[in-house]
A and B are shown apart, each in its own frame.
Chain A
Amino acid sequence: MTYDGAAGAAATRAPAVSVRGLGKRYGEVEAVAGIDFDVVAGETFGFLGPNGAGKSTTIGVLCTLVKPTGGRATVAGHDVATERDDVRRNIGLVFQDTTLDGYLSAEQNLRLHAELYGVPRGVVADRMRQVMEMVGLWERRDSLVRTFSGGMKRRLEIARGLLHSPRVLFLDEPTVGLDPQTRSSIWGYIRELKAREDITIFLTTHYMDEAEYCDRIAIMDRGKIIVLDTPEALKASVGRDRVQIATDDDDAAIAALRERFGLDATVAEGLVTFAVESGGAFVPRLFEGLGVPIRSVSVSRPSLDDVFMSYTGTTIRDAEATAGDRNRQFAKMMAR
Chain B
Amino acid sequence: MTTTSGELTAPAGGREDGPAGAPVARVHVPARSLAGDLRAIKIVWQREMIRFSRDRLRIATSLLQPLLFLFVLGGGLSRLASTGTHGVDLRTFVYPGVLAMAVMFTAIFSAASIVWDREFGFLREMLVAPVRRGSIVLGKCLGGATVAGIQGLIVIALAGLVHVPYSPVMILELVALLVLLAFSITAFGVMAAARINQMQSFMALTQMLVMPMFFISGAMFPLAGLPAWLAFLNRVDPLTYAVDPLRRTVFAHLAISPAARAALVPGVTWFGWHVPGLLEAGVVALIGIVMLTIAIWEFGRAE
Please report A residues at the B interface, Cβ cutoff 8 Å: 1, 3, 6-7, 9-11, 15, 36-38, 40, 42-43, 63-67, 85-86, 88-90, 93, 95, 97-104, 108, 111-113, 115-120, 123, 126-127, 130, 163-165, 192, 194-198, 215-216, 218, 225-230, 237, 335-336
Let me know if B232 is at the binding interface, CB within 8 A.
Answer: no
| A1–B30 CB distance below 8 A | no
| A120–B30 CB distance below 8 A | yes
Q: Given A101-B47, A165-B29, check contact A196 B24 (CB 8 Å).
A: yes
| A38–B10 CB distance below 8 A | no
0/1 per residue, B1-42, Cβ < 8 Å to A?
111111011111111110111101111111111011001101
| B19–A195 CB distance below 8 A | yes
0/1 per residue, B287-303, Cβ < 8 Å to A?
00000000000000011
| A65–B128 CB distance below 8 A | yes
Which residue in B10, B43, B51 is a CB contact (below 8 Å) of A111? B43
| B128–A164 CB distance below 8 A | no
Q: Given A1-B16, A1-B17, A6-B10, check contact A127 B125 (CB 8 Å).
A: no
Q: Inside 8 A of B50's CB, which chain A residues have their CB?
A: 103-104, 108
A99 to chain B, nearest CB (A): 4
Interface class of chain B by DSSP? loop
| B122–A99 CB distance below 8 A | yes
- For chains A and B in complex, what number of residue pairs have CB atoms within 8 angstroms? 180
A25 to chain B, nearest CB (A): 14
| A118–B22 CB distance below 8 A | no
A18 CA to B50 CA in the complex, in Å?
Answer: 41
Q: Given A6-B11, A10-B8, A100-B122, check contact A88 B25 (CB 8 Å).
A: no
Which residue in A1, A100, A164, A192 is a CB contact (below 8 Å) of B21? A192
A22 CA to B93 CA in the complex, in Å?
Answer: 65
A165 CA to B12 CA in the complex, in Å?
Answer: 25
A228 CA to B5 CA in the complex, in Å?
Answer: 8
Which residue in B2, B6, B29, B122 is a CB contact (below 8 Å) of A119? B29
Let me know if B124 is at the binding interface, CB within 8 A.
Answer: yes
| B30–A101 CB distance below 8 A | no
Please report B residues at the A interface, Cβ cutoff 8 Å: 1-6, 8-17, 19-22, 24-33, 35-36, 39-40, 42-43, 47, 50-51, 54-55, 117-118, 120-122, 124-131, 197, 302-303
A113 CA to B42 CA in the complex, in Å?
Answer: 12
Q: Inside 8 A of A36's CB, which chain B residues have their CB?
A: 3, 5
Q: Inside 8 A of A103's CB, which chain B residues have their CB?
A: 50-51, 54-55
Q: Given A6-B15, A103-B54, check contact A127 B4 (CB 8 Å).
A: no
Q: Inside 8 A of B31's CB, which chain A residues have their CB?
A: 85-86, 89
A192 CA to B21 CA in the complex, in Å?
Answer: 8
A1 CA to B5 CA in the complex, in Å?
Answer: 23
| A65–B303 CB distance below 8 A | yes
| A215–B197 CB distance below 8 A | no
Q: Given A116-B131, A196-B20, check contact A215 B39 (CB 8 Å).
A: no
Q: Inside 8 A of A196's CB, which chain B residues have their CB?
A: 19-22, 24
A89 CA to B29 CA in the complex, in Å?
Answer: 6
Q: Inside 8 A of B21's CB, which chain A residues have their CB?
A: 192, 195-196
Which residue in B4, B29, B54, B117 is a CB contact (below 8 Å) of A228? B4
Q: Inside 8 A of A237's CB, which chain B residues have their CB?
A: 2
A103-B51, A164-B27 given; 6 more Cβ-contact pairs under 8 Å: A36-B3, A115-B42, A116-B129, A118-B131, A196-B19, A198-B15
